[in-house]
Amino acid sequence: MLPVVVVHGGAGHIPKERSEKSTSGVCSAARAGYTILQGGGSSMDAVVEAVSELENNPSFNAGCGSVLNVKGEVEMDAIVMDGKTLGSGAVSAVRNIANPVQLARLVMDKTSHACLTAEGASLFAQAMGVPQVSQESLITDYSRMRWKKNLAPDANPVACQMGKMGTVGAVAVDSEGNIACATSTGGMLNKMEGRVGDTPCIGCGGYADNKLGAVSTTGHGEAIMKVTLARLILFHMEQGQSVEAASDLGLAYMKSRVGGLGGVVTVDPQGHWAARFSSLQMAWAAVQKDTLHYGLYAGEHFTQDNNPH
């Protein structure tokens, strides 16, 4: 069954004109992650590669293409977790970095801490030699247009965002049975300056444990935090539920208990995987053996040869 990589491009309602780009983006990221696994690379290398590619793709709400806070600025959150050691690294409210997921990995690998925020994260990035990028390079015309629209007194940015999310994430199992997750986001549209969402919070934006599996989440961060969605799903797997049933149970609880919508990608130690969501859509893709799997709407599951000649 091993190895496998599963990625998501955010739960929500993807406008028609953007759906093709979302689908091709997640497929390409899943392939990039799988190439690493095929070459004997680790699940951690695979999820960081897949998420970095999605951060660099302006179609998603992470890295370049992030939504803007109420002041019209980019503030990004990211997390990685290693299922072998339960080590994790996260950054929150970072502004001038192209790939927050790579900085999160450096927090895990090079510090004794689990999360660095804002100015401290930026100083750490400089110390690690991570290049600084301008805010302008992270802001797209589309994100600026949506920010402006949601400054209107009668706007409802949360509802608008529930319409068009786009956080990115990945989970993977490698040939040695090691499991990892990574998640990265620009957060919620027109959020307050300094708002930190679920993504960098362990057990909320992601969790990985070689004994149980891994989950990367997307959706309304304040709702995800109330139910610690990633860990909740792994709890259900610990109780014997399949990846699919556990993901559905977690998402259904979040919807019924706090009215939150979202989506997840989930793997177990055997390499079983699921991509599930309670929102209208979530772009997702997975590669296992020689097959690429992908979908956008509930119930959709297309397959394609991953090594076409």
Ligand X SMILES: NC(=O)C[C@H](N)C(=O)O
Give the active site residues.
167
d(CA 117, CA 262): 25
Q: Is 218 annotated as a binding residue?
A: yes
Task: Look at residues 108, 139, 103 and name the one whose alpha carbon lies nearest to residue 122.
Answer: 103
Tell me, by CB under 6 A, how many residues bind ligand X. 16
**Residue sitting closest to ligand X (CB):** 221
Is 10 near ligand X (CB under 6 A)? yes
Q: Write down the least CB distance from residue 39 to ligand X, Å.
A: 30
d(CA 298, CA 294): 11
Cα 207 off chain centre by: 11
Is 90 near ligand X (CB under 6 A)? no
Of 218 and 241, the one with the shorter C-beta distance to ligand X is 218
> What H or E segment, with its residue span, contains residue 44?
helix 43-55
Could you tell me the maximum CA-CA distance found in the chain, to the nearest angstrom?
55
Q: Write down the least CB distance from residue 191 to ligand X, Å.
A: 8
What character string, x for contact with ligand X (CB under 6 A) and - otherwise, covers 205-244? -------------xxxx--x--------------------
The conformation of residue 202, written as its DSSP 8-state character, comes to B
Is 198 near ligand X (CB under 6 A)? yes
Which residues 39-78 are close enough to bind ligand X by CB under 6 A? Answer: 61
Q: Write down the least CB distance from residue 67 to ligand X, Å.
A: 8
Q: Which two tokens stand for residue 196?
A: 């930190």
> What H or E segment, with its residue span, contains residue 302?
strand 302-305
Strand pairing category for 115-117 and 87-94 = parallel
Residues near ligand X (CB under 6 A) are: 10, 61, 165-167, 185, 187-188, 197-199, 218-221, 224
Residues placed in the known binding site for substrate: 195-198, 218-221
